[in-house]
Copies of this chain bind each other. A is one copy, B any other.
């Protein structure tokens, strides 16, 4: 080869220097040390989960304190695993927000369940990158299988095929990218969007209650934030389909090109569900991709009685459901189900020579998005589904919903409080009311939230509905029992009474 003839001497000079004659391999931490540390860590994790409820959910720490407690520079010499674990126990564990705490009822509460943790441990030991079937046959096939189990569990047609992403943010971004790829026979992939006189603005539709990740997806994809139309919602915070149709018509009249609708099944503020069937009809009539963000409420669809609330889900082109949200799987695990996986492959697949294999008829998961590397996330989801069984998962979802309904009944029965939105699942929006000015009611609710969260036993979050501050209680952790919800209510009432 040309350069060899030309430069062998150079190479040798360049590469054979600076290499001291080290013994190899220096290897990993010695096996016996590691095994002992694994057992110690096994107990630390089990101990943590046993006593997590004794921590205040929010650590009592000021910004900068953790960093100040640690050396500003890396250690030159090795440190003993014992010292690492001791520092972890002393500095890190007490200063995380305890998402696995039974009193965590903020945002959407989640669970790193026992079977999920076991799956993560084994995956960390394997350390597989299943970018190609060849680089992870079992991980690839298990990902196909377990996402198909999930498809069956929520009653989607057999045509849907799933894969696992890190976050719903990426899953939704991919769905909109696939929609973008349908424009002009896919030429955005090749030609891009800038500097073209033949390409109008491309618009995406979602309700004003859609998650901020949809905003970020549209920004990232270069469609422009203003081309995400925030469609009005009805009195129950569901997308107003007539307003959707009107927005599409206006955009078409203005020369823009609608490409996708993102409907939400379980919005972040209130868990409202957009009218999926009516929205799907609009999407089909208009030739738009329908993506459904069911990151939270998709899990409820494993219970047949909740399917009616998600009626029309099966009409979607893509659905995202996060098992790391309300299906007891450790972060990260976001399942994207696609009616036409080839549409995603067409938008993204690209195989450089160094990733080419002779394997045919296999799925190479790298083909379904921009990320080459991928962890073995299917393992923990497989463990979770098997350890609880479908019925066990259903029972837990139902129990969480029942707890939230009970909480709502307490709020509804209490003078000086109101429930602020329908609460079909495990999340309730509520607020203290005085009949006074909005600003003073808002201040009251913000004070209640601050005092409740400072108390320690629970963590609630808030949102804004119809321009009023609203408190949120979301049940989703497997440890959360009636007593924790009752404690939250006791703290809320006490804080309000101090007003």
Contact = CB atoms under 8 A, between A and B. Distances in A.
Contact of A373 (B256, B332, B392): B332
Interface stretch (A76-84, A276-284, A310-318, A491-499): A76-84
Interface string A169-201: 110010001001000000011111111110111
A408 to B, nearest CB: 7
Interface stretch (A111-119, A239-247, A286-294): A111-119
Contacts of A402: 19-22, 24
Contacts of A102: 25
Interface string A186-220: 00111111111101111000000001110111111
Nearest to A125: B45
A419 interface: yes
A447 B29 CA distance: 37
A76 B390 contact: yes
Given A39-B39, A88-B122, A124-B120, A370 B236 contact: no
A: contact size bracket: 35 or more
Contacts of A157: none
Contact of A38 (B4, B118, B192, B461): B118
Interface in A123-161: 124-129, 133-139, 141-142, 144-145, 148-150, 152-153
Interface string A287-326: 0000000000000000001100000000000000000100
Nearest to A404: B15
A255 to B, nearest CB: 8
Nearest to A333: B373
A337 interface: no
Given A19-B402, A331-B375, A479-B25, A225 B190 contact: yes
A41 B118 CA distance: 7
Given A112-B126, A226-B192, A74 B385 contact: yes
A1 interface: yes
Nearest to A180: B222
A325 B294 CA distance: 34
Contacts of A77: 389, 391-392
Most buried by B among A2, A15, A168: A15
B189 A192 contact: no
B389 A79 contact: yes
Given A93-B126, A192-B201, A145 B70 contact: yes
A167 to B, nearest CB: 4
Nearest to A465: B1
Nearest to A23: B399
A269 interface: yes
A73 B158 CA distance: 12
Contact of A122 (B19, B44, B216): B44
A25 B405 contact: no
A468 to B, nearest CB: 7
A343 interface: no
A251 to B, nearest CB: 11
A19 B426 CA distance: 11
A96 interface: yes
Contact of A348 (B19, B31, B139, B216): B216
B48 A126 contact: yes
Contact of A29 (B113, B149, B305): B113
A124 B129 contact: no
20 contacts: A6-B235, A11-B422, A14-B424, A19-B405, A29-B113, A29-B387, A31-B46, A35-B46, A48-B126, A65-B137, A74-B149, A77-B391, A97-B136, A99-B129, A111-B127, A167-B372, A193-B194, A215-B350, A220-B348, A332-B375
Given A28-B479, A193-B193, A220-B348, 10 more contacts: A14-B422, A24-B482, A34-B114, A34-B117, A67-B141, A75-B385, A99-B126, A194-B224, A213-B370, A354-B463
